[in-house]
Amino acid sequence: MARRGSGACAALSVVIASGCGTSDAAKNDDDSKRPRTALVTALRQVQDTHLTRGWIEFGDVAGVRSRSGGGSSSKRDPLLGYGEPKLADAAALLPDLTGIDPFAARTALSVGRPPDPVGFLYGSFNTTAIGSKLRKLGYTKHGLADGEATWVIRDHHKIDEKDPLAQLGIVTALNVVRVSSRHIVYGGASADIDQALTGTRPLADNEAVGGIADCLGQVEAAQIGLDLKIAATPLGIGASGSPGTDATQVICMTTASQDAAEAIASAWPGRVKSTTSALSAEPWSNLLTQPRAEVIGGPYHVVRLTARPTGSTRVLFDAWTSEDLGPLLTGAKPDPETSAR
């Protein structure tokens, strides 16, 4: 059922994504009317630039670990690792090698598209232990104010295939690492990190990004970006919960007009019930249940679509990656090349 929303997510403030959540850093948000989520809090600590708004991936690391009992078992929670895509696959080995444990962070954020993404880990970090291990790897320290330091082993996206990190598949992502007791910022080049941290307003205050983030709400994983094969305006996907129990999928789309938003909202339940995933060759009704839609409104005419996955909590993320999401949202014919063989 589609309805017009008037709740906390009604205030929009960006062209790509922002979230609704709580965190100890939320006190920095001076907009008392705005939902305060872990996603919004993370976006408030990054600057709104051409690099950062190009692509956003977020993970509520602590939230996932708490719900899944720590996430240290051989079977990793499907949502653990979002926000830190360059580090997640090597997370078990990084603490001994670098002193950095990606899965011990509170939240994680990655902004920018390859080859220039910049990663952020928020939490509590032992700067002495990290510095000692980075020095052994050949990093050089450059001191900054307030106990923060930048550690550089290479810059400008340079590659050393013999480097121990490269052997783990981390080729350039940790070339430059900026460390403080409360956050770690990393990337392939100092210039990328500087751009992510230098600007006139936080990324959460970008009207489209912030609007999507507010709409997504309290999610454990999210991606926000522009996909011209789906629409000319940005969208975001969020997920939370355990597979088969309380899992929820959220899609927040900015649209060109109120009529466009209402059309998408009206069509959503029917498309879930009547269309088929080209990737899995299964009806979407077998993959998603309880489809609902809400027109949030605002300057970017945001519409919020929700459903419950019957299996994987990554189902919509995988659909976006494989170009299977567009037909579900717009009714376009699936690309034969993405269809299940």
Which domains are present in the chain? 46-197 (no CATH), 204-328 (3.30.1360)
Please list the residues that pair with 57 across neighbouring strands: 110, 223
Residue 95 tokens read as 């603490």
Give the Cα separation of 339 and 337 in Å (integer).
6
Alpha-helical segments (H) within the chain? 38-43, 61-68, 94-98, 127-136, 164-167, 190-197, 207-216, 258-274, 284-287, 315-321, 325-330
Give the Cα separation of 132 and 309 in Å (integer).
44
Residue 144 tokens read as 């900054």
Omega prior to 114 cis, within 30 of 0: no
Please list the residues that pair with 283 across neighbouring strands: 276
Residue 235 tokens read as 């969208």
Q: How confident is the prediction along the chain (341 residues), in pLDDT tens digits per residue?
A: 333 333 323 222 233 333 333 333 333 444 556 668 999 999 999 999 999 999 999 999 999 999 988 644 458 899 999 999 999 999 999 999 999 999 999 999 999 998 889 999 999 999 999 999 999 999 999 988 888 999 999 999 999 999 999 999 999 999 999 999 999 999 999 999 999 999 999 999 999 999 999 999 999 999 999 999 999 989 999 999 987 778 999 999 999 999 999 999 999 999 999 999 999 999 999 999 999 999 999 999 999 999 999 999 999 999 999 999 999 998 877 665 554 43
Residue 129 tokens read as 């232990």
Give the model's pLDDT for residue 33.
63
Give the model's pLDDT for residue 337.
58
Percent of the chain with pLDDT over 70: 86
- Please name which of 186, 95, 105 lies closest in space to residue 132, comparing C-alpha atoms: 95
Beta carbons within 8 Å of 330's beta carbon, 6+ residues apart: 230, 231
Give the Cα separation of 6 and 259 in Å (integer).
17
Give the Cα separation of 177 and 270 in Å (integer).
48
Task: Please report which helix (H) or strand (E) contains residue 95, including its range.
Answer: helix 94-98
E strands, 60-164, are 107-111, 118-122, 140-143, 149-152
Q: What are phi and psi of 318, to 5 degrees?
A: -65, -35
Q: What is the overall mean pLDDT for the chain?
A: 87
Omega prior to 336 cis, within 30 of 0: no
- Please name which of 88, 320, 122 lies closest in space to residue 222, comparing C-alpha atoms: 320
- Please name which of 275, 324, 227 lies closest in space to residue 335, comparing C-alpha atoms: 324
Give the Cα separation of 55 and 251 in Å (integer).
16
